[in-house]
Structures are given as C-alpha cells and as structure tokens.
Chain A
Amino acid sequence: MLEIKNLVVQIEDKRILNGLNLTVNKGEVAAIMGPNGSGKSTLSYVIAGKEDYEVLDGEILLNGENLLEMEPDQRAAAGVFLAFQYPLEIPGVASMTFLKATLNAQRKARGEEELTTPDFIKRVNAAAQQLEIPKDMLKRALNVGFSGGEKKRMEILQMALLQPSFCILDETDSGLDIDALRIVSEGVNALRSPDRAFLVITHYQRLLNHIVPDTVHVMHSGRIVRSGGKELALELEANGYADYRDSEAA
C-alpha cells in the first residue's frame, strides 16, 4: 500500500531523513518508535505533504501513485490521514462546520455526492458517541481551548468520519488519560480493516497493548534501523535506544 524508497529530506539546510525505506501493506498496522528528534513527525509531515520540507531524493508511493507530486488536499482525497502530534486551533470555526467542510470536500474530490445535513449529523453523532465526545464540544471552535486529550480525541473523530485508507497517528497517545487511551484505541481498532493500513508513531508500549501492531520499526537519525514483529516494541521498552546510539557512532 505505502512504499517509501530512499527518502532524503531536509529543512533549512538540516538533514532530517537520511535515505529512509519503509513498506506498509494493506491491512497492516505498522508502529514506528524512535528517540526524540529522530524524525518521526517529519516523516509523517512529508507523507501528508507539509511545505517547508525539502525532499532531496527518494519517493513515496501510495497504491503505486506518487504522493510527492500531490498537494496535501489531493493526498487527503487519495486516503492519507494524519492525526497530528500537536493539533491546530482554528478560532471562529465551529468543529461541526469544519467536519462538514472537510467531509464534503473529500467526497467531492472523489466524485461522490455531498452528504445531506441530517445524514452528516447522524454520522458525527455516532462517531462522537463512540469516542465519548460531548456534543457541546462540537459546537465550539475547532480545538480552541480544548485540553490536550480532547484535541487528540477530536483527531480520531475526524479519522472515523473521513474513513481514510492510510492513517498516520503521530503520538496520539500522549496527553490521554487511561480511559481516553482505551476509548481512542477502540476507535482505531474499529477502523482496522483489510483495506486500510496504519502507521502508529509512539513512544510507549501501553498504546501498542491496545492497538496491537503487525510490524514494529525503529527509527533513528532519519532512518529505519530495525524492523520486526510486535515483540520488538517490548524489547525497546526494556532496553531503550542505547544499542542504536552506538550504531550511529559507528
């Protein structure tokens, strides 16, 4: 589904990704772990198409299509969804308004019909209920004054509504309390399907207890330095990244 080959990325003359290779198959849940500053968020931004990042080399293919040539909204329509590590606040724009605008924009891009308002509201309410998001929160301006955990839940709500095919969760677990972690994970698990793949960026095993990954990749200094099954995460939890720091020195 997603194929990244030899990706080299810099920002303001600083190299962040150094020939990164990664493949995620349909139906797969891949976890990425790695020390702070190793380039995980950068990778997610580059997949989603944030400007500022200069791609010097390599390619990113989604179902064979070259993502790098697309605008961020085209990528979204193609199925890429990024749950931000730090979701943005948009003053004055009610969450409901925002959700409707995005959903219909994507439907339009895919040649589908726009949703009627009752239809839309039904869907939002269902998703909100599952994620235990109170209705009045949806009336407030998007993310403005939301707590860290509320913002993260709002990200997952959007994911549930937009039904993307490739989902990136950048540290969605940070800022969540124990119950919220379970709720969010259930939300994610409900979306797991043979046609959908996930890239889950996290620092902690506790998220992976809920969202059990098929594969685990270790990222270091802008590269995937090791890949394995879900047991790799447990190993990291026990040993940290010390081994990899050595490899960097070498």
Chain B
Amino acid sequence: MPAVQETIDQVRSIDVDQYKYGFETEVEMEKAPKGLSEDVIRFISAKKGEPEWMLQWRLDAYKRWLTMTEPAWARVSYDKIDYNDIYYYAAPKKNPAPKSLDEVDPEILKTYEKLGIPLREQEILAGVEPQSRVAVDAVFDSVSVATTFKEELKKAGVIFMPISEAVREYPDLVRQYLGTVVPVTDNFFATLNSAVFTDGSFVYIPPGVRCPMELSTYFRINEKNTGQFERTLIIADKGSYVSYLEGCTAPRRDENQLHAAVVELIALDDAEIKYSTVQNWYPGDSQGRGGIYNFVTKRGDCRGRNSVITWTQVETGSAITWKYPSCILRGDNSRGEFYSIAVSNGMQQVDSGTKMIHLGKNTTSRIISKGIAAGRSENTYRGLVSAHRKATGARNFTNCDSLLIGNECGAHTVPYIESKNASAVFEHEATTSKISEDQMFYCQQRGLSEEEAVALIVNGFVKDVLQQLPMEFAVEAQKLISISLEGSVG
C-alpha cells in the first residue's frame, strides 16, 4: 500500500478527538436570561457599569441586527442557529471583577495552569528571560478574570486592560475609535457583536512607544450554551509598535457554541501592529458533533502614512471558521500583511482569507496562505485584493497553496482581484497538490517514520507562515498543527 494511502487511512480512522483542551471547569456562573432582547442588552451593560452612550450604541446595533439576515455566501453549511437559545452573558459568580490574582476563583486559575497560560507575573519572571515576557489578559466566558503586567505597562504609557474597564476609565479614547474600522452595521455577526459584546482587550500605545513586551489575550469558552462575543480594540499611535497574540480554546461538548468576535486595529502614522492568532477552539468530534462556530470580523486600518499591520493566524480549531482578517491601506506607503495556516480535519469547515483594500498611494500588501485539508473537511481560501483609482503604485503579492491529505476532503481557492489603477501591480499564484510519494519515500529512506516524514513535509509547507509568529508561539503552533493532523502527522 503506498505510503500516502496509509496515511489517508489513518486519518480516516482517527477521531478528531485528540483535542487536548476539552476539559471543563466547575465554577458557579452567573448568567443573563437565555436569549436576546433589549433587556438582556441592558443587563449586560449594567453588569459592566457602562455609561449611557455605550448602552445606546448597543441598542442601536441590536435594532439594526434585527433587520439583517445571516450571510450565506461562504462555503460552509450548518444547522440554523437559534439566537434565542444562547446565553449572552456568563461570568463566574464569585467575584466577577477580581482586583488581584488572589481574588480569582482557584478553579479558574487551575484552568489556565492546565492550558499553560502564565497568569502569575513572578512565575513568569522567575522562569523565563525578561525579553520574552508576555502580558496576558485572560477572558473566561464573558469576563476578563486577570490581566498581568498592567502596572509595568502603565509605566511605559501603554494601556492594556479589559475593554469593559476601558469603557469606564478611558471613555474618550474608546469612543473615538470604537466602530471606526468595523462599523456597527458592517455585517450580521459584527452587528450582533456590537449589541452584545461582553469582554475583550483594549490596547493603546502612545506615540513613539515600542511596547516593552508582547501582549496577549487568552479566550476560554467554558459555560454550556453560551456564546462568546469579545471585542478587541488596538490603537497604535504615531510611531509606536506592538505585537499582540491571541489564543482560544473551549471544552468538548456535543452541541455547537457560537463565537462572534470583532477585532479592530488602528495604526496611525509610522505605527506598526503585529496581530497573531492561534485559534484552537474545540473542533467537534469526528462525526461533526459539537464544536465552535467561529464567525469573526477582524479588520485593521492603516490610517497613517507608513503604517504597517500584519495578521498572522494559525487556525486549527472550530467546527466552522468564517474569518477574513483584513487591512484597509488608507495611509500612503502603508503595508498590510496576512500570513495564514488553516488546518482542517474531521468534519471541520474553514472559509477564511483576507481583504487588502488599497486606497493610498504606494501601498503594498502580501498574502501567504497555506491550507491543509484532511479527513472529511472542507478548506476554502477566500480573498480580495483591490486597488482603488487613487492607489497609484499599489503592489500586492499573493501566494496561496493547498495541500490535500486523503480523498474525502476539499480544498478551494476563491480570490477576487480588482484593479482600478493602471500603475498597480498585482501578482497572484495558487496551487493545490498532495504530499508526493517520492518525497515521502526519500524521507523514509533516510530513516524517518511515515508520521515523521509527513510532519516534516507539512512543516516545510507551512514554514513561511510559522516564521512570522513570535518564537514561543511558533513552537506552540507547530505542535498544534501536528496534533490536528495526528494520524497523518507524528
């Protein structure tokens, strides 16, 4: 039997059930009444102690949302979501707003420990070299339970805190930028998020500041039947730099759970934002039961001249991924980058890609997308590159490769490339192939087992993207890809 055939059979025979983060935490939770209504929104807003304008903003979004229909253009299929069968708010009952780590429910601390997320600053300081410190905002269902290194960051002038806190403490900043990249009316899921968002991170880097450490948010969905609707807003003021990481997991359950986040990035003149995601929501089991519906709107606005926004994503989780981290290249000479690895196995469905909208002069963008489909999954790259009339000198390079492992999955490429400027130069290339038998044999001849050989070749395949991740994350991501393809990878 040819090696690849064996691999295919192995992939076929495994469950996706090696999901390592599928455990559940027993904590008493306080929830909003099930379903969505103005009352629920008022409840959320009150829980967060929000000012009136914020409540009004939410209610407007809700009214708008009621008139909208769920988009159907993506290559994903799922049973109709009953938006009234979801809890929109769930927070640990014991002290939902802990002031320090000692006030956090020990069960929750244990959860993060199990997930390998460092929440104790001194531990981090003791263990790791200072330059690789990471500040963490840990969001558990609908609330942020801990944010580390807040004080130290404050000294540098960096604001890093849960967005619900920022709404209270920095209302002017939030009001100035919230919804300016992803308008309230943007799309069905973004509008829903605007109405019900519960927590997420707020970051502001003042002019000229290079954020002294990596910032990260770790999202955990724990409670049954809840949706997670986080909202992240990052502003890099003139000449500043920040690197931000985002991770996500959820327990294993038979029913689907909804995650509809909105992330807005704003880079002013000469500023740079690097946003990396390792998305590992529960993918469902091999029969397609359970798993997270991940409907996410992420968009960055290169508002200033010479600004840079880089999206890097490693997508291995979720039953359904619907996600297009995009860049609006408004400032002259601004640059947008998108690096993506999307691995699908089992019955997962991925429809993901990016949009690079060239508005300013001499704007450049680069898209590297690597899709790997195994099992009975469907993996679609969907992307838009466009140059508007005034985008003189715009440049884009896109490379989008797909790898199929097995004969029951699908890999699709749907790029839209629109140029309205003669001096814009766009180059797009895409390939679909399989792991070659000859490469497999060559590796095995040198003594690698079949699984090691697949892992090695897959690693080579995704390398261009892994290189974009911060070091610690790259290692993590590499492991994750291996686990996701377990059976086909060692």
Contacts and interface: CB of A to CB of B under 8 A. Distances in A.
Interface of A: 48-52, 71-73, 75-77, 80-82, 84, 87-88, 90-93, 97-98, 101-102, 105-106, 109, 141, 158, 162
Given A50-B445, A91-B461, A162-B447, 18 more contacts: A48-B445, A51-B1, A51-B3, A73-B446, A73-B448, A73-B450, A76-B445, A81-B445, A82-B445, A84-B445, A90-B442, A90-B460, A98-B456, A101-B448, A101-B452, A101-B456, A102-B448, A158-B446
B116 interface: no
A88 B448 contact: no
A105 B449 contact: yes
B2 interface: yes
A84 B442 CA distance: 9
A204 to B, nearest CB: 25
A65 to B, nearest CB: 16
Interface in B1-19: 1-3
Contact of B444 (A52, A73, A90, A162): A73
Given A51-B2, A105-B452, A76 B463 contact: no
Contacts of B446: 73, 76, 98, 102, 105-106, 158, 162
Contacts of B461: 91-92
B423 interface: no
B438 interface: yes
12 contacts: A48-B445, A50-B441, A51-B1, A51-B2, A73-B444, A73-B446, A73-B448, A76-B447, A84-B442, A88-B438, A92-B460, A98-B456
B152 interface: no
From A92, A109, A162, residue with most partner B Cβ within 10 Å: A92
A101 B446 CA distance: 9
Contacts of A88: 436, 438-439, 442
Contacts of A91: 460-461
Contacts of A48: 441, 445
B468 to A, nearest CB: 14
Contacts, number: 86
Contacts of A98: 446, 456
Contact of A72 (B439, B444, B463): B444
Given A51-B3, A73-B449, A88-B439, A93 B444 contact: no
A43 to B, nearest CB: 14
A90 B439 contact: yes
A90 B449 CA distance: 16
A76 B460 contact: no
A24 to B, nearest CB: 18
Contacts of A141: 460
Nearest to A89: B439
B92 to A, nearest CB: 44
From B3, B442, B447, residue with most partner A Cβ within 10 Å: B447
B464 interface: yes
Interface in B134-179: none
A47 to B, nearest CB: 10
A90 B457 contact: yes
Nearest to A109: B447
Given A51-B2, A73-B450, A101-B452, A93 B460 contact: yes
A121 to B, nearest CB: 18
A27 B3 CA distance: 33
A141 B457 CA distance: 11
B459 interface: yes
Nearest to B455: A101
B30 interface: no
A157 to B, nearest CB: 12
Contacts of A77: 447
B437 interface: yes
By Cβ-Cβ distance, the 9 closest A-B pairs, closest first, are A92-B460, A76-B447, A72-B444, A93-B460, A106-B447, A102-B446, A92-B463, A88-B442, A73-B444
From B1, B438, B441, residue with most partner A Cβ within 10 Å: B441
Contacts of A106: 446-447
A90 B445 CA distance: 14
From A48, A50, A158, residue with most partner B Cβ within 10 Å: A50
A103 to B, nearest CB: 8
Contacts of A72: 441, 444-445
Given A52-B2, A92-B459, A92-B464, A105 B447 contact: yes
B424 to A, nearest CB: 29
From B457, B459, B460, B463, residue with most partner A Cβ within 10 Å: B460
Contacts of B442: 84, 87-88, 90
B367 to A, nearest CB: 17
Given A51-B3, A88-B438, A101-B452, A93 B447 contact: no
B12 to A, nearest CB: 19
Nearest to B453: A73
Nearest to A86: B438
Contacts of A87: 442
B248 to A, nearest CB: 27
A76 B446 CA distance: 6
Interface in B37-55: none
A112 to B, nearest CB: 12
B2 A49 contact: no
Nearest to A107: B447
Contacts of A90: 439, 442-443, 456-457, 460
